[in-house]
Amino acid sequence: MIYLEIPKKFKPLVEQARQVGEHVFRPISRKYDTAEHEYPKELDILASLLKGMNEGGGGTGAGAGGLSEKKKADDGKNRNGGNMATVLGMTELCWGDVGLSLTIPGQGLGNSAISAVGSAEQRKRFGHLWAAMAITEPEAGSDPSAVRTTARLEGDQWVLDGEKIFVTCGERADAVVAWATLDRSQGRAAIKSFVVEKGTPGMAVDRLDKKLGIRASDTATVSFTDCRIPKDNILGSPDIKPKRGLSGAKKTFDNTRPIVAAMAIGVARASLELTRELLKRDDIVATSYAGTQLTAHAAEAELYRMEAELEAARLLTLKAAWMADNKIPNSVEASMSKAKAARVGNHITLRCVELCGAAGYGERQLLEKWARDSKILDIFEGTQQIQMLIIARRLLEKQSADLR
């Protein structure tokens, strides 16, 4: 059974992540929003803090790199492991700053893929790396089965050719987890993921994108030209199994979509808290929940509604993470949490800007920045429309060919 309280063993992790968000991220948030592509050197001091978070979380981390292998629970006991710890920690970090959370050394989304799909030997071998995720291509966006980057086996090496766009931390990370097809004629079943370390001949960062939000995080275009990597750098089995197409990708997304939901919850909560504080100063809202939506000021009633929506998203996210830790299939719940939290988060941050008027639009407060940052959370790891399509397919028991 899922419990709604924060597990006792994770409370130190949550508190430490909150301290990082408040005392490390927020003071430099505007600085690196303005200085896009400049590496936040202050994040280097997080090494010891992240170690503390790992210890507080029972061996798990506060960021994406904290995900651990899911072990089957056969004793009927409730499990709260790496997925729950990561969701709780990421919520607090993104309460501080989303862009900075995405560029913490060693906490890339590629690390989640290695944790979800890699063997025990690969998790040990690549555990020290900061790994970015390289999925999207110029002609393969929300549909990962349309990947055109190829991988062919020559002797004891894989040879990769292709281009990836919108790679978060593609320049800063130590490696990328690149998705490529072994045989285009076999569709999604032939798509596998490969670990390509920085400095590998044939891999190049072609450009960095200028963005609306999350400017503290670099977003790169990465190309592979006759890029050769060791044979054992493929994550999972190299065998093509038509009935298990994109199984590695699904495992990865089941882990990472609740993380993105947690990001949205964190930034939305930050916006709501600051908005309530600013409106209190102007005596627009009450200092406590003394009234009801029927008797409250219109702005306060709006805050009530948004807080209720945010709580619903939070509970969905905790459920998806809990199911993953207890080895319960959570594809539907992962997509539900991501779709709900991302939509709600985007709505809340934008509405808070409007409610606060000049204070919301100006740069003296972080509200307008949070609104810009939140937009990407409704796009990457699968857009709102893609999440709804996935949910519909699962609930209606339809294949992708039957429901597009």
Q: Which residues are catalytic?
A: 381
Contacts 24+ apart (CB under 8 A), 152-156: 152/182, 153/182, 153/231, 153/238, 154/228, 156/230, 156/231
* Nearest C-alpha neighbor of 140 from the set 249, 254, 251, 257: 249
Calpha distance 186→183 (Å, rounded): 6
Calpha distance 94→314 (Å, rounded): 14
Calpha distance 133→230 (Å, rounded): 18
Residues 198/220, Cβ–Cβ less than 8 Å: no
Calpha distance 319→89 (Å, rounded): 15
Strands 203-208 and 191-197: unpaired
- Find all residues with CB under 8 Å of 282, minimum gap 6, and list them: none
Calpha distance 165→134 (Å, rounded): 7
* Nearest C-alpha neighbor of 353 from the set 341, 372, 371, 374: 371
Given the structure tokens 């609930």, which residue do they identify? 395
Calpha distance 86→61 (Å, rounded): 6
